[in-house]
């Protein structure tokens, strides 16, 4: 039996086809380019255009709004397979589909759906999620960006930080407060067009993901039509909260994909690298690393698929299950990246091999979409009865 055959439990024929399509695309269209793009700091716009033509930027959006109309398990499989090849491309899928598209599907007016959802789902436009601020990302209720009503518009002011893809996105999903004294009840979700007068997006100098266009974004008296409010005034937390499980599910699926890339790289290397007259895969201590890595990746995969299956079965919110999957999969992913460097020895740091790069990329997944400290707090609070759905 091959390892890949393990993955087929419970998947429908259609889900297997989606996985095969995403894997084939990742191997043929992404993997041959990803290291060169990394070295050049080049945003993978051309790859994203091809992904869009295959429906990968709007997987769960209904077909009548330009999406692929797929189930959640299929969405997870796409995230996993694309992340196996490229963190950035997978990040675009998950930002665009989980928070922005899903938010518009659930809370958008018909006009917003036609104007924004259709081109986003078709991948004709890219979206950024502008939540995190310089003052903090975990405590969203204390965000400082504001909107002030002015006739048919709002005037948006504030600053956001770590905003992925911001110079390439033409739709920003922005959280800002209409009344800061009301804390989370004052927060609104808005669709803001980029470029608009008063918006500046400047790439941050990060140690990793230099091709991800992760930016600081300033809003200086930006005029946003009131018709671009998503949901109700003060309902921004509801919009974000209703899709948190999908966002965490997609990040968890990406973690499984990147951890699987570590397994792939290690199996290849352990069968090639010779020390003491035999390939290093013959050494039991290397075998132990490989076996533990394979089992933990498979366990994480099971937790991720379970979230997709629960959503497909109609569970409205899978918050606890999604937090558990995100926590476990991101921890497994970081450990797999550390172990992959160990298996590669000094060559784990070589620019010619991807495993050294994986580690910094994977670490981000323990921080984004709710840090793992917040996931642990949530899980414990649900278990203790301090928090409930
Ligand atoms: C590469 C990258 C891409 C990103 N892309 C986006 C994006 O597209 N859009 C966006 O809006 N944001 C994005 N982010 C931001 C990310 O979501 C935030 O970094 C994250 O939410 C944490 O916020 P913070 O960095 O302000 O850390 P802080 O909130 O300041 O947290 C610092 C530390 O304190 C801990 N902590 C905070 N509160 C608690 C608590 N109550 N209990 C226990 N521990 C706590 C945290 O877990 C963390 O360890 C991105 C970040 C990175 C690195």
Instruction: Classify residue 171 by its DSSP letter.
Output: E
How many other β-carbons are positioned within 10 Å of the β-carbon of residue 148? 13
Could you tell me the distance, in angstroms and rounded to a whole number, from the CA of residue 332 to the centre of ligand 1?
19
Overall average pLDDT of the 322-347 stretch: 98
Counting atoms of ligand 1 from 1, which one is nearest the CA of 367? 20
For atom 7 of ligand 1, the residue with the nearest CA is 163
Overall average pLDDT of the 27-52 stretch: 95
Q: From the CA atom positions of the chain, what is the Rg in Å? A: 21
pLDDT range class, residue 71, cuts 50, 70, 90? very high
Overall average pLDDT of the 16-44 stretch: 95
Counting atoms of ligand 1 from 1, which one is nearest the CA of 364? 53
For atom 45 of ligand 1, the residue with the nearest CA is 373
Could you tell me the distance, in angstroms and rounded to a whole number, from the CA of residue 170 to the centre of ligand 1?
24
Compute the distance between CA of residue 106 and CA of residue 48 in angstroms, rounded to an integer: 25
Interval 270-303: pLDDT, tens: 999 999 999 999 999 999 999 999 999 999 999 9
For atom 11 of ligand 1, the residue with the nearest CA is 131
Q: What is the dihedral of CA 213, 215, 221, 225, to 10 degrees?
A: 50
Compute the distance between CA of residue 68 and CA of residue 64 in angstroms, rounded to an integer: 9
The pTM for the full model equals 0.97
Compute the distance between CA of residue 31 and CA of residue 367 in angstroms, rounded to an integer: 25
Counting atoms of ligand 1 from 1, which one is nearest the CA of 369? 17
Distances (CA, A) of 209 to 20, 41, 203: 27, 8, 11
Domains of the chain plus CATH, in order, are 3-121 (1.10.540.10), 127-237 (2.40.110.10), 243-384 (1.20.140.10)
Sign of the C-alpha dihedral computed for residues 170, 114, 316 and 184 taken in this order: positive
How many other β-carbons are positioned within 10 Å of the β-carbon of residue 363? 17
pLDDT of residue 302: 95
- Residues having CB closer than 6 A to ligand 1 are 95, 128-132, 136-138, 162-164, 209, 214, 364, 367-368, 371, 373-374, 377
Helices (H) and strands (E) in the chain, counts: 15, 10
Question: Coil, strand, or helix at residue 275?
Answer: strand
pLDDT of residue 291: 98
pLDDT of residue 221: 98
Contact (CB, 8 A) for 96 and 126? yes
pLDDT of residue 389: 74
pLDDT of residue 316: 87
pLDDT range class, residue 6, cuts 50, 70, 90? low
Peptide bond into 195 cis (omega under 30): yes
Counting atoms of ligand 1 from 1, which one is nearest the CA of 212? 1
For atom 12 of ligand 1, the residue with the nearest CA is 132
Beta bridge partners of 189: 175, 230
Percentage of the chain lying above the pLDDT 70 cut? 98
Compute the distance between CA of residue 133 and CA of residue 290 in angstroms, rounded to an integer: 40
Mean pLDDT taken over the chain: 96
Contact (CB, 8 A) for 251 and 369? yes
Write out the DSSP string of 194-220.
SS-TTEEEEE---SS-GGG-EEEEEEE
Overall average pLDDT of the 32-49 stretch: 94
Compute the distance between CA of residue 102 and CA of residue 328 in angstroms, rounded to an integer: 24
Is the per-residue pLDDT at 7 higher than 80?
Answer: no
Could you tell me the distance, in angstroms and rounded to a whole number, from the CA of residue 137 to the centre of ligand 1?
5
Is the per-residue pLDDT at 8 higher than 80?
Answer: no
pLDDT of residue 10: 84
Contact (CB, 8 A) for 132 and 202? no
pLDDT of residue 5: 62
For atom 25 of ligand 1, the residue with the nearest CA is 137
Is the per-residue pLDDT at 3 higher than 80?
Answer: no
pLDDT range class, residue 34, cuts 50, 70, 90? very high
**Which of 43, 368, 376 maximizes ligand 1 atoms within 8 Å of its Cβ, making it the mutation to test the pocket?**
368
Contact (CB, 8 A) for 192 and 118? no
Could you tell me the distance, in angstroms and rounded to a whole number, from the CA of residue 367 to the centre of ligand 1?
5
pLDDT of residue 136: 85
Could you tell me the distance, in angstroms and rounded to a whole number, from the CA of residue 132 to the centre of ligand 1?
7
Compute the distance between CA of residue 2 and CA of residue 361 in angstroms, rounded to an integer: 28
Could you tell me the distance, in angstroms and rounded to a whole number, from the CA of residue 314 to the centre of ligand 1?
30
Counting atoms of ligand 1 from 1, which one is nearest the CA of 128? 8
Give the catalytic positions in this structure: 369
């Amino acid at each position: 039996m091959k390892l890949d055959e393990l993955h087929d439990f419970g998947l429908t024929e259609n889900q297997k086809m989606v996985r095969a399509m995403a894997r084939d695309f990742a191997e043929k269209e992404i993997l041959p380019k990803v290291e060169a793009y990394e070295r050049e700091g080049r945003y993978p716009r051309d790859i994203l255009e091809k992904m869009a033509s295959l429906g990968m930027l709007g997987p769960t959006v209904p077909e009548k709004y330009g999406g692929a109309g797929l189930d959640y398990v299929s969405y997870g499989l796409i995230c996993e397979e694309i992340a196996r090849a490229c963190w950035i491309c997978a990040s675009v899928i998950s930002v665009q589909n989980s928070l922005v598209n899903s938010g518009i599907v659930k809370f958008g007016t018909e006009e917003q759906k036609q104007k924004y959802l259709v081109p986003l789902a078709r991948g004709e436009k890219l979206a950024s999620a502008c939540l995190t601020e310089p003052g903090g990302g975990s405590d969203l209720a204390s965000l400082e960006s504001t909107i002030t009503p002015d006739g048919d518009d709002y005037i948006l002011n504030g600053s956001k930080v770590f905003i992925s893809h911001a110079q390439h996105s033409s739709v920003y999903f922005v959280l800002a407060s209409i009344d800061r004294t009301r804390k989370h009840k004052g927060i609104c979700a808005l669709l803001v067009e980029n470029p608009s007068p008063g918006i500046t997006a400047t790439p941050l100098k990060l140690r990793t993901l230099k091709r991800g266009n992760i930016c600081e974004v300033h809003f200086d008296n930006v005029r946003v039509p009131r018709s671009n409010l998503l949901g109700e005034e003060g309902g921004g937390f509801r919009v974000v909260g209703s899709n948190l499980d999908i966002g965490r599910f997609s990040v968890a699926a990406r973690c499984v994909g990147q951890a699987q890339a570590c397994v792939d790289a290690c199996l290849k290397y352990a069968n090639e690298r010779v020390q003491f007259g035999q390939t290093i895969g013959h050494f039991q201590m290397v075998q132990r690393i490989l076996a533990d890595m394979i089992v933990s990746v498979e366990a994480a995969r099971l937790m991720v698929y379970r979230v997709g299956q629960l959503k497909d079965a109609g569970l409205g919110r899978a918050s606890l299950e999604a937090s558990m999957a995100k926590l476990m999969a991101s921890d497994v992913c970081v450990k797999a990246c550390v172990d992959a460097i160990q298996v590669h020895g000094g060559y784990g740091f070589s620019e010619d091999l991807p495993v050294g790069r994986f580690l910094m990329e994977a670490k981000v997944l323990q921080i984004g979409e709710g840090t793992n400290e917040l996931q642990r707090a949530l899980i414990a609070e649900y278990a203790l009865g301090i928090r409930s759905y």
